[in-house]
Structure 1
Amino acid sequence: MLNIYTAALEGKLFIVQQVLEKEPEALNSHDEASGRSSGGHDELVSFLIKKGAAVDLKDDSGLTPLTIAASTGKDRVVEILLDHGAQVNSQNESGQTALHYAASKNRLQIAEHLLKHNADVNIPNDIKQLPIHRAAAQGYTALVKLLLKHGSRLNPMDGERNTPLHLACEEGHGDTAALLLEEGADADRVNGDGKTPVDLCSKELKSFLAQHLE
């Protein structure tokens, strides 16, 4: 049987309307909190909000509709939720914000929307990683630049004492590492294993970054 969660995921507005007529309490169920955003159907999201859906209702993992929409790349849904007062810095059970997810998945436009609505670039998750750690680890140079522009710390250390530069070097992301060095990242900072970012570079990456390390 198709419930409101499944219908919302599939963008079936008519079925959602029918379910709500029979079960109005389904409007703010935990399942529906996920369904109304992850499908990315802006008409359905707008309908549910007009019906009184709580824009910040969390699912069982602590994810809000905004966090899910940011993670799945639903730009328009993110805009709608923010325009209706969604809490931009809400954290899930692992401490991740919508900006962490945008940074992890290279959602540049969504990150810009979040930042315009005062997303905090320096909120750590449960392993003490900021959004810039996530973007640097994936080699998303434009996102790293955007986060720095909006006040992200340059040398924050995560739970293993890795800075964004450590992660960029370890994963072989030369352009991202070069940007961080140009911005003044500390190439001599030691992580929990006693390694500097340079120690984590391949021979080829060290050569690529040589001019930035002089």
Structure 2
Amino acid sequence: MEIKPLLQLGGSGLPSHPMAVGVTVLRTWAPSWPPRSDSHFSGPCHSNAQREGYVGEKRKSVWASRSAGTGTVPLVHLAIIHCVPAVALCCINQLPREVLEIQNDLFQTPLHLAVYLEQPSVIQALIHKGVNPGLQDHNGNTPLHLACEQQHLRCAQQLLQCTAPTEGTAQPHGHHQDLQLQNWQGLACLHISTLKGNIPMMSLLLESGANINVREGTSGKTPLHLAVECHNHRAVQFLLRNGAYVDAQMYNGCTPLHLAVGRKDAAIAAILSHSGADTLLRNMENETAQDLADGNDDLLALLPFDDLKISGKPVVCSE
């Protein structure tokens, strides 16, 4: 896997061997901390707050590596990138939560990197430490968005299991995993997993409380609309079985059936029709799905005549 895009380190002066990264930084900075005496605070002007501030800054500096042109890079980022979980777990154990939420130049936290590089044990440790799983990178992606994009099911399970509240308690670490949160493309996690056609990931998200009818931010498509656009029969059937609203409308009024007919996908149009799709709904251009069939006999056979009804119900063609 290409590591450079993940973190622009420049000339850090660190050794290339993964374990040597941790050893070098620890040997270089760790001996200077903690201070052997209280001489730093011997004067009367040093309050408890000043002491705590000094301690906090020293702890940060001990666990950070300075790289040319990019400022201070916490060691935990390096340990994750170089796939040295032992060093990463040591950092997580020693560092305060605020340091573990530091974002790099791409606004990635250690949690983003651990998901990208598929390190479930590191993810678990970070979540248990109380880091915020909802921080977004430069694309607006949370770690869970990345897990869906990379199709890392184990990572998603760690993110969701560790942040799920237990019975009779509040959120375990003070952070709520917002499953409807959108990235800068307007996509929630369920949209991404639907576009990937990843049924196990979709199932996990729904079990964790994701809204099956969540609309993406650009045109108002639900996951069902996206599954239809991808011609993914399995995803369409899965969503319908789990309660997706078959007549959900985009901002332009189009239903999933409009999209299926417009793409001349008779198989998916049949699935939607048999699931009770309203074939007479009109979009903002005043078109029904029948109007979009445009003389296609296979599609027209699935759609009712809008001028013939029995007991108020449209008559559907059948062979």
Distance in 2, matches of 1:150 and 1:179, equals: 16
- 1:98 corresponds in structure 2 to 143
Equivalent residues of 2:197, 2:232 under 8 A apart: yes
- 2:5 corresponds in structure 1 to none
In the alignment, which of 107, 110, 115 is matched to residue 160 of structure 2? 115
- 2:86 corresponds in structure 1 to 43
Identity %: 23
Structure number with larger C-alpha Rg: 2
2:129 is aligned with 1:84: yes
- 2:269 corresponds in structure 1 to 206
More strand by share: 2
Structure 1 pair 141/209, CA: closer, same or farther in 2 (3 Å)?
farther
Question: What is the TM-score of this pair, normalised by structure 2?
Answer: 0.58
In structure 1, the gaps of 5 or more residues are: none
Is 55-64 or 43-52 further displaced after alignment?
Answer: 43-52
Name which structure has the greater RCO, CA cutoff 8 Å, separation 6+. Answer: 1
* Runs of 4+ residues deviating >6 angstroms: none
Distance in 2, matches of 1:44 and 1:131, equals: 30
Structure 1 pair 151/26, CA: closer, same or farther in 2 (3 Å)?
same
In structure 2, the gaps of 5 or more residues are: 1-10, 31-60, 65-71, 164-176, 278-319
**1:128 deviation in Å?**
3.0
- 1:129 corresponds in structure 2 to 187
Structure 1 pair 3/200, CA: closer, same or farther in 2 (3 Å)?
farther
Distance in 2, matches of 1:62 and 1:122, equals: 20
Structure 1 pair 212/33, CA: closer, same or farther in 2 (3 Å)?
farther
Deviations 1:143-201 (A, max 9, x none): 11111112111211112211111111111222122111112212222324543223333
2:63 is aligned with 1:27: yes
Is 162-171 or 73-82 further displaced after alignment?
Answer: 73-82
Equivalent residues of 2:92, 2:125 under 8 A apart: no
SS of residue paired to 2:63: helix
Equivalent residues of 1:102, 1:108 under 8 A apart: yes
Equivalent residues of 1:55, 1:85 under 8 A apart: no
Report the residue type matching 1:172 in the other structure: H
- 1:71 corresponds in structure 2 to 116
Structure 1 pair 185/15, CA: closer, same or farther in 2 (3 Å)?
closer
Equivalent residues of 2:179, 2:209 under 8 A apart: yes
Is 166-175 or 118-127 further displaced after alignment?
Answer: 118-127
Distance in 2, matches of 1:13 and 1:136, equals: 38
Is 45-54 or 55-64 further displaced after alignment?
Answer: 45-54
Deviations 1:65-93 (A, max 9, x none): 11121133222221222233222222223
Equivalent residues of 2:220, 2:251 under 8 A apart: yes
In the alignment, which of 254, 262, 273 is matched to residue 195 of structure 1? 254
More helix by share: 1
**1:63 deviation in Å?**
0.9
